[in-house]
Structure 1
Amino acid sequence: MSTPRGEGPFAKLDVASVWGDGKTVAADGSQIDTWENNLLAETSIRYGGYGGIAYRHVSNTYIALFSRFIPCGVWEAVYIIEGLLRNESDIQPDTIHADTQGQALPVFGLGALLGFDLLPRIRNWHDLIFYRPDEKTRYAHIDSLFGDDAVDWDLIENHWSDLLRTAISIRENRLSSVTLLRRLGNHSRKNRLYRAFRELGRAIRTITLLRYLSEPQLREQITQVTNRNEAFHGFADWLMFGGKMIGHNDPDHQEKVVKFNELIANCVIYSTACDITDAANDIAAEGRPVDLDDLATVSPYITHTVRRFGNWTLDLTPPEQNPTTRLDLEPRVLFPA
């Protein structure tokens, strides 16, 4: 199995477009064990283990786009924007799903300025505050959702140029989004930039919560894509057959282990997607119908066809025969030439 370059070959598969449009990504972490005596390792209260966190961005097409190995004690939300900014694949999502760890008020504000739509799956979201557009605004049927606080639009307007300069600096790679969001933690309440990002985040998060309430399809999408991210963690963990503990204290080596594990998982997903394409075309060639809705439920995280303990070789030579990328289920109807 040759290694695909980035997500280019995978994005060209018709079956990938059946699974998703590539515009949506889910970000989540998975705990990986390490040796105790190193600078990164901590006890994870959330995951119940000791080591670090493999924080991954997984597309709604099942493929992983970006990963980082981070400490257990950090708020995962600070890494959510970085994965999208450093993503160099052909798949460029603009919608981010995450869990409770992947959201915070400054992250909502920064994501909006950078053109990303943060739509997390928040635990106990009904305990969050819905901010009014102004103190006098009242609603006929949903007023009980809102508290007494209103968005301070004057604060946002006064610091709008600062917010834009910060977002441009991050987009131009002059400032790390991780560094900024770490500085904009709760301990920065007196910081004017933090207060401006927080206020913008209050407005954006209120809109997001209202969308979550009013759009059943959005709720289904968030659940579906975040579940795929969690399934990728299990799939990648299954492929780490050489040992599930990172036996090295070098941070660069630890990062490589996580990224190489992701690369192997992506290669297997690509190979399985090609097999699914061939199988669907064979069924259609026999005259039997292949329903796209059924095909969309077939996950490429298939393990029983993978020989984990076979010979793993790196072959960079282009294959003699290009894999079939087209789904020929209904010629000239499903995918026009």
Structure 2
Amino acid sequence: MRALEASGRLRRANERVAEYQSRIPIAALWGDGDKASADMMSLDASRHLWNARIDPRRRTYAAGIYTHVRDRWGIVYDQPIVLNERQAGVALEGVEHHNRAEDRIRLSLLAVDTHGYTNPAMAIAKLLGFDLCPRLRDLAERNLYLPRIFSIPEGLEPATVRRVSLTAIERWLG
């Protein structure tokens, strides 16, 4: 934890490793460098650390570190966060931080899990020029609600519910 607490040390080390990996010819086979995935890892911490919380799985004090891993396997961004918090903000921040540098390949897609997804985050990601691609928990239980008059592809039929009333919407907009 002391190495992580030193200001910027971990981030500089990760940037150097990612830069080195990008120069290795075989890394081009791993991906174009424009896609990344992000998730949080739980790291053991002292209970005196201001953002340490009880890890629900291990029942010990821990702090979260949210990392962005590019498709060429370098960690391009890391940020300490509080456990069990929504991670959409730090997911967006990591891509924007990476894309700010002129000499880097811009990230065009970020894959996140359910904690890295919110509807506003999807909109902000589009405005910033990249796609936020969540893997949503219990996706099989989610439905697309449509008016009866909409035509949809046959493959989407099992995931749709046709109960939206356009008349009720028009009355409400009034």
- By the TM > 0.5 criterion, same fold? yes
- Residues 182-261 of structure 1: matches in 2 within 5 Å? none
Structure 1 or 2: more strand by fraction: 2
Please say if 1:103 is aligned against 2:114.
no
Match of 1:29 in 2: 40
Alignment-mate amino acid for residue 129 of structure 1: N
Normalising to structure 2: TM-score of the pair? Answer: 0.72
**Aligned-partner Cα distance in 2 for 1:39–1:49:** 15
The CA RMSD over aligned residues, in Å, is 2.6
2:70 is matched with which residue: 59, 68, 77? 59
| Structure 1: tracts of 5 or more residues without a match | 151-337
Provide closer, same or farther for how the CA distance between residues 48 and 110 of structure 1 changes in structure 2, counting only shifts above 3 A.
farther
The 8 Å contact of residues 54 and 70 in structure 1, kept in 2 or not, is answered as yes
Please say if 1:83 is aligned against 2:94.
yes
Aligned partner of residue 126 in structure 1, secondary structure = helix
Provide closer, same or farther for how the CA distance between residues 6 and 86 of structure 1 changes in structure 2, counting only shifts above 3 A.
farther
| Structure 2: tracts of 5 or more residues without a match | 1-12, 166-174
Match of 2:107 in 1: 93
Provide closer, same or farther for how the CA distance between residues 8 and 140 of structure 1 changes in structure 2, counting only shifts above 3 A.
closer
Provide closer, same or farther for how the CA distance between residues 95 and 140 of structure 1 changes in structure 2, counting only shifts above 3 A.
closer
The 8 Å contact of residues 52 and 70 in structure 1, kept in 2 or not, is answered as yes
- Residues 9-28 of structure 1: matches in 2 within 5 Å? 9-28=20-39
Normalising to structure 1: TM-score of the pair? Answer: 0.40
Return the index of the structure with the highest Cα Rg: 1
Aligned partner of residue 85 in structure 1, secondary structure = helix
Aligned partner of residue 119 in structure 1, secondary structure = strand
Larger RCO, structure (CA 8 Å, separation 6 or more): 1
Match of 1:139 in 2: 152
Identity of aligned residues (%): 23
The 8 Å contact of residues 114 and 136 in structure 2, kept in 1 or not, is answered as yes
Q: Deviations over 1:86-107 (max 9, x none)?
A: 1147232111111121112221
Aligned partner of residue 69 in structure 2, secondary structure = strand
Alignment-mate amino acid for residue 101 of structure 1: H
**Aligned-partner Cα distance in 2 for 1:5–1:73:** 30
The 8 Å contact of residues 11 and 90 in structure 1, kept in 2 or not, is answered as no
